[in-house]
Amino acid sequence: MADILALAAHPDDVEQTCGGTLIRMAQKGYRTAVVDLTAGEMGTRGSPEQRLEEAQAAAREMLVAERHNLLLPDARLENTFDAKCVIAAKIRELRPRVVILPYWEARHPDHARASELGADACFLAGLRKLDVAGEPHRPSKILYASAYAAVRPSFVADISEQLERRLRALFCYQSQYGPQAEGNELFPEQEEAAERLRAAARASGLLIHVRYGEPYVVKEMLRVDDICRMGVPSM
C-alpha cells in the first residue's frame, strides 16, 4: 500500500526527476513507492543485476517504503494491453492516491511510453471487469515530472532540504556514475552530474522563490480554495 507511487522506465529515472518530492513526502509521514518498468538492461553501463541492487539502495536513501521492478523489456517498451494490465495489477496492489509519471514527450522513447502506459494503467485499474488481480482502484491524481521537458510547469515542489539526499540516492548507481572507462562520451562524471542537477533544481526553485525545486505538469486545472494563502508572492 502507498499514498504516492512514482512510476518510471528505468532504475535511476525517479532519482533524477521526482526523488526530492518522494523524500519530502516520506518525511511528512506519507508512504511512498516506486515501480520501475525495466531493469535498464540495454544501458551502456552496468548489468541488470547491478542496477536492481543499486535501485534498492537508492530507495532506502529516498525513504521509499516499497520499490518494484516489472522487468518489461528495456528499449522495447510498447503501449500494449498486456503491458498496461501488468501495471494496472501493481496499481491495484499498491492503491496509491497520487501517481507520478514521466512527462509524455521525451528524447528516450521508453520515457514517453512509460508515461502513456502509466496513465492508461491508472484508468484500467479502476475497471471492475478488468481481468487482473486485485480489487479495482483508480488514483485520484496524476502528476507528470517535467524536469527534462522544455515546458512551463503547472507547479513546483520545494525540495530545498531534500536535494542533497536526492543526489546521494542517485549516486547509489555506481554502475552508471562511478569512475569507469566505458561510455565516457555519454556519461558525465559524478561531480559534473551533480552540478547539472543542482543547476536545474535551482532554476526550478527560483520560480517559487526557494533554493531548489522539482517541476510538475498536470493536465487538469488546479483548484485554489483561499486566494489569501497562495504561496508565491507576485512582486
> CATH no. for residue 222?
3.40.50.10320
Per the structure, how many domains does the chain have? 1
234 within domain boundaries: no
Q: What percentage of residues in the chain have a pLDDT greater than 90?
A: 88
Average pLDDT over residues 20-28: 98
235 within domain boundaries: no
pLDDT of residue 168: 98
pLDDT of residue 209: 96
179 within domain boundaries: yes
pLDDT of residue 184: 58
Q: How many CB atoms lie within 10 A of CB 191?
A: 9
Q: Which of 54, 65, 70 is nearest to 15 (CA)?
A: 54
Using a cut of 0.75, tell me whether the model's pTM lies above it.
yes
Q: Write the pLDDT tens digit of every residue in 56-115.
A: 999 999 999 999 999 999 999 999 999 999 999 999 999 999 999 999 999 999 999 999
| AA identity, residue 206 | L
pLDDT of residue 181: 61
Average pLDDT over residues 33-43: 94
183, pLDDT greater than 60: no
Which of the pair, 186 or 193, is modelled with greater confidence? 193
Strands (E), the chain: 4-8, 32-36, 66-69, 98-102, 141-145, 155-158, 213-217
55 within domain boundaries: yes
Which range of residues forms the domain containing residue 15? 4-229
80 within domain boundaries: yes
161 within domain boundaries: yes
200 within domain boundaries: yes
204 within domain boundaries: yes
